[in-house]
Amino acid sequence: MAKEPTYKEAMEELEAITHQVENEEPDIDELSKLVKRAKELIQLCKKKLKKTGKEIDDAMKELED
């Protein structure tokens, strides 16, 4: 299993996919594959953001105590 990409790597891949979708006219199968990959990545990023948000909240709560 491939290593889980970092947020930055995921974003870069997403940018690259966007660029490919917008400019390279992939055929429908390819497009389906790209979108699927993109959705995975977005899901990953969402998870990371949520985790980060919770971490920040926890940290702030700790500071306030």
Q: How far apart are CA 38 and CA 15, in angstroms?
A: 9
Question: At 16, is the secondary structure helix, strand, or coil?
Answer: helix
Q: Is residue 52 involved in binding another protein (CB under 8 A)?
A: yes
Q: Is residue 11 involved in binding another protein (CB under 8 A)?
A: yes
Q: Is residue 65 involved in binding another protein (CB under 8 A)?
A: no
Contacts of 31 (CB under 8 A, 6+ apart): 21
Interface with another protein (CB under 8 A): 7, 11, 14, 17-18, 21, 27-28, 31-32, 34-35, 38-39, 42, 45-46, 49, 52-53, 56, 60, 63
